[in-house]
Structure 1
Amino acid sequence: MKLFSNVKASASGFALVALISVSSGFLEATPAVAKAPAKIQPATLTSAAIAVPDRYSADAAGQIFNEGGNAVDAAVAIAFTLAVTYPDAGNIGGGGFMTLYVDGKPYFLDYRERAPLAATKNMYLDDKGNVVKDMSLIGYRAVGVPGTVEGMWEAQRRFGKLKWKQVLAPAIHYARDGFEVSQKLQERRDGAAKSFAGRTNFDTYFSNLKQGVNFKQPDLAAVLQRISDHGAKDFYSGKTADLIADAMRGHGLITKADLEQYKAVWREPVTADWNGYRVITAPPPSSGGVGLVQLLKMKADLAADFNGVPLNSAQYVHLIAEIEKRVFADRAQYLGDPDFYKVPVAQLIDDAYLAKRAAEVNPDTPSGTKSVQPGLGTSMPEKAETTHYSVIDKWGNAVSNTYTLNGPFGSGVVVDRAGIVLNDEMDDFSVKPGVANMFGVVGSDANAIEPQKRPLSSMDPTILTKDGKVALVIGTPGGSRIFTSIFQVITNIYDFDMPLPDAVAAMRFHHQLLPPDTIFWEPYKPIEGELATQIEAKGYKLEGQRFNGDIQVIKVNGNTPEAVADPRGRGVTRLFQ
């Protein structure tokens, strides 16, 4: 499949990459030279596979695989393409997390946004100490220092097979030549425009984002071309950095120094053994990995209570809610940026600790909310417009990537002469301890605003392996619903032996400690009728929510991958021979 005639693989058939040097705390591109010929590996799977948010990113991945790229090359091409064709969530003005399994080894890359150098703990409070409405959500002051470009550069530099220019080519094509706007994308634009009306420059760039239009973004195309030519250097110290700093001057906090000092960080992933699988998932500043492991292990500890309980029955919902209460109590107290705060990850996923927490579950009625406290004591100090995709190549390498602008189209601010949509990630900090963010979750001083700190996230790109080989690649957007959604799909697959499409499509629900005893249900498969009556009889309040995840998942059956995109979303799947 040839999509972009100007993209060509190296004549030798071996990978070409950009050499790097370190300057001002970020990586610079130097002229691309040939990497030493790698040992050619035989394919271990029948095909490569992807589950991605739209058809344009799927086409981009196909082109990369056709050029001889691996899962990391494809993942990077997908990310840049979504920044063009999925601008409500895909981005180069945000940040995220990437979980990788390459040549039989797990890795995790944190390219989460950071608070600007001028950020302060009370920057969103008025003179009476009250939170100023929307200040952390809309406009220039809501923006954290973006990490996506540096993250993608770092991942592709370390593990990619192709030239950097090759993985940027699809995105440049769509920005320069345009793509057809879908009805759902226009609906997202229309909703966001109402929120931003008169408060940002959003309509200057996106007023023509209408169904059926061939939407071109020449300013963004120029940015992507510079990134293609110069690597991450352009975004963090070059012309694009100047444009971002100019846009912020007099309005927001981000300066050229913020951009120059940004770095993505390789971290040790959270890993745990569960049900015969190795779970490889996100460490802090994500709460998702710890939360997912806690959910999986506590459910296993309560096997006797779950025995014979039908999936998504009133009793099943109750037991899961009891577990989730305790997970969210721990999340609020203990989780934050590990570069600023010693997060007790090992203690939080310790088998003995989780067995003790599971033993606190009331099998009959909801535990009183005030009685559910953080389990280690108190001495230790995301909306739908995130997006996720899953990739596996024919050599068995896998990437699970979740990245975000936070709200739909982020802060609503677009960088003048660059077309870059900027995030509103500052809302993911505890703007004021005990005050809920846009997802209704609260935090403590562990997640308070500090310069260069990364805000706590629920993003949870996850890979499961068995006997050293990838078994599952999974993730989703959904704010605080992310890891509860992933948990439900994983248990549907492995505890209930459901076929993959059914496991993804099954009803999902959510509880997060606060508001008290509230079960959130989704419009896709609502809780209603007799089931609703039974849940309410147990003492719960039912509340509707607009969104409960958009799972993109690949399951490997033997040596054959199977990919499923959530029917709730716009995603597509492809297999590539």
Structure 2
Amino acid sequence: MSWSRPIALKLAASTAALVAGLAASLVTDTPALAKTAPKPVLDASAVAVPDQYSAETAQQIFKEGGNAVDAAVAIAFTLAVTYPDAGNLGGGGFMTVFMDGKPYFLDYLGTAPQQATREMYLDDKGKVMGSMSTVGSRAAAVPGTVEGMWEAQQRFGKLKWKQVLAPAIHYATDGFKVDSRLQQVRDDSARNFTGKTNFDAYFSSLKAGTVFRQPELAQTLERIASDGGREFYEGHTAELIGTQMFGHGLITKQDLQQYKAVWRQPLMADWHGYQVVTAPPPSSGGVGLIQMLKMKADLKPAFDGVELNSAPYIHLIAQIEDRVFADRQQYVDDPDVKPVPVDKLTDDSYLSQRAAEVKADEVPGAQPVKPGLDVAQAEKPETTHFSVVDKWGNAVSNTYSLNGSFGSGVVVDGAGFLLNDEMDDFVTQPGTASVPGAAANDLNTIAAGRRPVSSMTPTILLKDGKVSTVIGTPGGSRIFTTIFQVMTDMVDFGMSPANAVDAMRFHHQLLPQKTIYFEPYHPITGDLADQLKAKGYSVEGQSFNGDVQLIRVDGTTPQAAADPRGVGVGAVFQ
């Protein structure tokens, strides 16, 4: 076993004891899908995850014979305990899976409650009312995470359901040591929640260096482990959510009972000899990623001799991003509500036409690209991602979220978990702008049962039908521009996984026009900033530009890289 950064190589003694204690009780619990494991095709299994506790969880699951989906589900539940600002039971997300040689995609995004309405956050003058869509019970969409994990594990998992929840139950019961990152995020978030939610009652003791225990969350996890994933939607946990919402929020027991995760056809495209497997709508990220990759490939002559991350390079990428974000804001919606022209948006001839509009000497903003609603700016970066590859060549790329840090700030009393503020991912003030040629006033607006448009882009690259790369990141509208940069740094510029994840990243989107955002990790300063300004751009800092978790398979050897911007861990398990 190897780690990409120093952490303890052993599971905590209490975790090991827990595993031993559970062994006898689990032997009679028959998994929903029993399979004979094929012969390993890789030298090892690997994960790239946001914290050390989820890495230890993966180690435990692989030792017990679990596959990539078992490990992914166990990681997701562990992060709900140890990474509570983004890991969750009360949120939702996307999972891209490659299992037994076939790709799959699971949409377990949250949905608008049945009582939700298009203008629910507006006053009688049509103005948004304070922070109602981001803080408090009315900000919460119907959570999808537990249903998504249950669906994935029942379909593809090898282990017993109780086994994959055991690590999370341990960390909730016995606690975990809080690091300085988590305390800082808690302190920053508490300013929004204090006096408005019950956040402080549950998380005021999150202090760096202390052991944080969550007994109510442990009980919730034990119920789910014992009764299955639907307990969250139909059992005692559902009763607790209904009680929490009564008189405050919109989610009802009926909403929970009706919630279902959706298996969708993954979005796939050929690129530089690879097959890209990524997120379809309601993700805008998969479409955007494929558009960027193909347009850059079409523009190879324009990029020849252009230095990576130089002013000319950034200028060309910014023009590509203008067109991608224009399409995103004009066409992408919940596919169950409005058909999305994915085939056209990713068609080679269409993208060649769009690429031909990109000019090295173009003045930024001189020829406006079809403008749209500036909805991407509202997306929050506080999501989390993890990547998994097992020794049988299966893989999971999973991105899930509470939306903002600690979601809505509302903890379900008696259940110990946070609810999301995913309702803010909808257009909360519809009709404030229009898009030529499209019914923009209906795009991503609130309606009962609807899923909001998301930028989450869990992605897997295949080479000759086998897993080559597993990648994803948090970052709101910066997600797919970040993934694009890391992928092209590796493929076009020959960088190692670690160097590609470490390299400078920048971001541009249609609105605000002519703006290049840089990150504190690799700031754009000096001559580079001056050159961009001379081209007509403004150069602005941003506090966050991703937390990429990447695994690349080199022959039969997986290489894991966790973003140095975060506290994640890349681990390889022999």
Q: TM-score range by the shorter chain?
A: over 0.9
Aligned equivalent of 1:156: 153
> Which of 110, 115, 118 matches 1:118?
115
Counterpart residue type for residue 4 of structure 1: A
Cα distance, 1:231–1:506 mapped onto 2, change above 3 Å = same
In the TM superposition, what is the alpha-carbon distance from 1:444 to its structure 2 partner?
4.7
In the TM superposition, what is the alpha-carbon distance from 1:310 to its structure 2 partner?
0.2
Counterpart residue type for residue 166 of structure 2: A
In the TM superposition, what is the alpha-carbon distance from 1:6 to its structure 2 partner?
3.3
Question: Tell me, what secondary structure is at the counterpart of 2:443?
Answer: helix
Question: TM-score, length-normalised on structure 2?
Answer: 0.93
Aligned equivalent of 2:447: 450
CA distance in 2, matches of 1:469, 1:444: 42
RMSD value, Cα? 1.9
CA distance in 1, matches of 2:32, 2:527: 63
Aligned equivalent of 1:63: 60
> Which of 500, 508, 521 matches 1:511?
508
CA distance in 1, matches of 2:32, 2:347: 42
Larger displacement relative to structure 2 (37-46 or 75-84): 37-46
Contact 1:325 1:372 in 2 (8 A): yes
Pairing 1:385–2:397 present: no
Aligned equivalent of 1:48: 45
Contact 2:33 2:156 in 1 (8 A): no
> Which of 551, 554, 557 matches 2:554?
557
CA distance in 1, matches of 2:36, 2:157: 14
Cα distance, 1:214–1:490 mapped onto 2, change above 3 Å = same
Cα distance, 1:76–1:321 mapped onto 2, change above 3 Å = same
CA distance in 2, matches of 1:370, 1:247: 51
Aligned equivalent of 1:341: 338
CA distance in 2, matches of 1:272, 1:135: 40
User: Unmatched 5+ residue regions in structure 1?
Assistant: 17-30, 376-381, 437-442
Question: Tell me, what secondary structure is at the counterpart of 2:130?
Answer: coil
Counterpart residue type for residue 239 of structure 1: H
CA distance in 2, matches of 1:61, 1:444: 44
Aligned equivalent of 2:7: none
> Which of 403, 407, 418 matches 2:400?
403
In the TM superposition, what is the alpha-carbon distance from 1:365 to its structure 2 partner?
2.8
Aligned equivalent of 1:439: none
Pairing 1:181–2:145 present: no
Pairing 1:7–2:19 present: yes
CA distance in 2, matches of 1:401, 1:37: 23
Contact 1:330 1:374 in 2 (8 A): no
User: Unmatched 5+ residue regions in structure 2?
Assistant: 1-9, 373-378, 434-439
Cα distance, 1:36–1:416 mapped onto 2, change above 3 Å = closer
Aligned equivalent of 1:99: 96
Pairing 1:303–2:318 present: no
In the TM superposition, what is the alpha-carbon distance from 1:61 to its structure 2 partner?
0.6
Question: Tell me, what secondary structure is at the counterpart of 1:87?
Answer: coil
Cα distance, 1:369–1:404 mapped onto 2, change above 3 Å = farther
Counterpart residue type for residue 41 of structure 1: P
Aligned equivalent of 1:468: 465
Aligned equivalent of 1:326: 323
**1:404-553 alignment to 2 at 5 Å?**
404-433=401-430, 444-553=441-550
Pairing 1:272–2:269 present: yes
> Which of 261, 283, 286 matches 2:283?
286
Cα distance, 1:444–1:313 mapped onto 2, change above 3 Å = farther
Contact 1:201 1:413 in 2 (8 A): yes
Question: Tell me, what secondary structure is at the counterpart of 1:120?
Answer: coil
Post-superposition CA distance 1:294-340 (Å, at most 9, x none): 00000011111111100000000000000000111111111111110
Contact 1:431 1:448 in 2 (8 A): yes
Cα distance, 1:432–1:559 mapped onto 2, change above 3 Å = same
CA distance in 2, matches of 1:321, 1:435: 26
In the TM superposition, what is the alpha-carbon distance from 1:227 to its structure 2 partner?
0.2
Larger displacement relative to structure 2 (355-364 or 559-568): 355-364
CA distance in 2, matches of 1:37, 1:253: 39
Question: Tell me, what secondary structure is at the counterpart of 1:390?
Answer: strand
Contact 2:364 2:536 in 1 (8 A): no
CA distance in 2, matches of 1:323, 1:33: 51
Aligned equivalent of 1:368: 365
Counterpart residue type for residue 251 of structure 1: H
Post-superposition CA distance 1:236-283 (Å, at most 9, x none): 011000000100100010000000000000000000000000000000
In the TM superposition, what is the alpha-carbon distance from 1:32 to its structure 2 partner?
3.8
**1:128-139 alignment to 2 at 5 Å?**
128-139=125-136
Question: Tell me, what secondary structure is at the counterpart of 1:232?
Answer: coil
Question: Tell me, what secondary structure is at the counterpart of 1:84?
Answer: helix
In the TM superposition, what is the alpha-carbon distance from 1:361 to its structure 2 partner?
1.4
Cα distance, 1:110–1:36 mapped onto 2, change above 3 Å = closer
Question: Tell me, what secondary structure is at the counterpart of 2:457?
Answer: coil
CA distance in 2, matches of 1:4, 1:503: 36
CA distance in 1, matches of 2:174, 2:37: 36
Counterpart residue type for residue 285 of structure 1: P
Pairing 1:141–2:138 present: yes
Contact 2:33 2:157 in 1 (8 A): no
In the TM superposition, what is the alpha-carbon distance from 1:135 to its structure 2 partner?
1.5
Paired residues, number = 550
Question: Tell me, what secondary structure is at the counterpart of 2:16?
Answer: coil
Aligned equivalent of 2:248: 251
Question: TM-score, length-normalised on structure 1?
Answer: 0.93
Contact 2:31 2:158 in 1 (8 A): no
Pairing 1:73–2:70 present: yes
Contact 2:34 2:158 in 1 (8 A): no
Question: Tell me, what secondary structure is at the counterpart of 2:566?
Answer: coil
